[in-house]
Amino acid sequence: MENNKSGFDTRAVHAGDFKDQFGAVVTPIYQTSTFEFRNAEHGARLFAGEEEGFIYTRIGNPTIRSLEKKLAALENGTDAIAFASGMGAVSALFASFLGQGDHIISTAAVYGPSRGILESYFSRFGVAATFIDTSDPFAVERAIANNTKLIYIETPTNPTIKLTDIEQVAAIAHQYGIPVAVDNTFSSPVLQNPLDLGADIVLHSLTKFINGHADVVGGALIVKDEETYKRLHKTMAYFGANMDPHQAYLVYRGAKTLSLRVLKAQENAITIARWLEEHPKVEWVRYPGLESHPQYELAQRQMRGPGSMMSFGVKGGLQAGKKLMDSVQLAKLAVSLGGVETLIQHPASMTHAGLTPEARAQAGITDELIRFSVGIEDVEDILADLEQALEKI
């Protein structure tokens, strides 16, 4: 039986397993919307929280719970809440911590829609947001106001691959009693555990590395304490942002091979980043595993590895970049990331097109920036694909 002291892979395989009466080795899919009470007293006790059990799938379900326990074990948290999508998790986080007159500080280059919901929706309910370069911890301290209720950082950022020092930001925030939430999607718990670095809440788009097979959309929040769990869980259930049991099963299955996939993709990415950096048609490469990354030292300290996400620009700017994206054959021109397959995309016209040009400029999302999510294919094949596409420019 695994426990908190078991190794990462042991927890990935076993944590959260739900034992049924038939001895099923994997958690079954409890495809049911509701659960029968033994009697009226039992139903009342479940609703009052006096007994553990399941009531209704929007509130909880054994398959979803199994996944949540696995996620908590992988992020060294005490509990987790699964959501229908990463954005469902982001929305519930903001709705739980922010109200009329409150203020949030966030990374300027945070995932586009995470910024978008603050600017377009929460602003309508009197929530102010300040977006700054959180890689400068002093800028974080300067942005703190009396009404700041949450600091929400993403590191490394999508798609600019900028890092924020989690330990330093958490230390500053806690001096003012402000909780810190970290979007850990880009690293996955294999490479970085924000709770261990002082953060209070971790967010994941499960759609990415944790599921890893580009066939499910999902999200999660992982917490350290029971009180935060209850607060976030209530928002999830009231807003109906719950995961579906079948969806939960697929992520639970994908998560078992998380480190095998993340480490293989990372090995490929290190080779590819070095190769791109030397390529005469490539202008620049941003990857935390390269000494040329401005925060290479922080990456070494904070992450257990540089991961498999990078961005780069080719000589000739946007037009040359479009030619490259239209010429790749193995890499797929598609958004999302962290799957077994290599994906390429253009954030300024795709994932971050919804941001204003000013917000994109502030975040450093230039027009020529190409985002590359390295998969687990044979590295020689990815390199050959890039070479033939670069030749066409």
Ligand X SMILES: Cc1ncc(COP(=O)(O)O)c(C=O)c1O
Catalytic amino acids? Answer: 58, 111, 183, 208
Residue 28 Ramachandran class (φ > 0 left, ψ -120 to 50 alpha, else beta): beta
Range in contact with ligand X (rule: CB under 6 A) among 37-45, 179-187, 239-247, 367-375: 179-187
- Segment 107-146, which members bind ligand X (CB under 6 A)? 111
Note whether 85 binds ligand X by CB under 6 A. yes
DSSP type of residue 82: E
SS3 261: helix
Distances, alpha carbon 122 to alpha carbons 99, 127, 133, 233, in Å: 8, 5, 21, 20
CA 308 to chain centre: 14
In terms of CB distance, is 63 or 207 closer to ligand X?
207
Note whether 102 binds ligand X by CB under 6 A. no
Residues 299 and 384: their CA atoms lie apart, in Å, by 28
In terms of CB distance, is 106 or 205 closer to ligand X?
205
Note whether 192 binds ligand X by CB under 6 A. no
Note whether 158 binds ligand X by CB under 6 A. yes
Contacting ligand X (CB under 6 A), which of 61, 130, 205, 266? 205
Note whether 345 binds ligand X by CB under 6 A. no
In terms of CB distance, is 212 or 219 closer to ligand X?
219
Range in contact with ligand X (rule: CB under 6 A) among 11-19, 182-190, 191-199, 366-374: 182-190
Interhelix angle 258-278/379-391, nearest 10 degrees: 40
DSSP type of residue 157: P
Q: Phi, psi (5° rounding) for residue 195?
A: -65, -35
Note whether 181 binds ligand X by CB under 6 A. no
Shortest gap between Cβ of 172 and ligand X (angstroms)?
23
Q: Tokens standing for 47?
A: 């609703």
Note whether 217 binds ligand X by CB under 6 A. yes
Let me know: does 147 contact 101? Beta carbons within 8 Å: yes
Range in contact with ligand X (rule: CB under 6 A) among 81-89, 190-198, 235-243, 362-370: 81-89
Q: State which residue has the least CB distance to ligand X.
A: 86
Residues 6+ apart with CB under 8 A from 263: 190, 305
Q: Tokens standing for 292?
A: 């040329």
Range in contact with ligand X (rule: CB under 6 A) among 6-14, 183-191, 260-268, 309-317: 183-191
In terms of CB distance, is 79 or 154 closer to ligand X?
154
Note whether 94 binds ligand X by CB under 6 A. no
Task: Report the side by side order of strands in the sheet with 309-314.
Answer: 282-286, 309-314, 370-373, 343-345, 332-333
Give contact residues for ligand X (rule: CB under 6 A): 85-87, 111, 154, 158, 183, 185-186, 205, 207, 217, 219
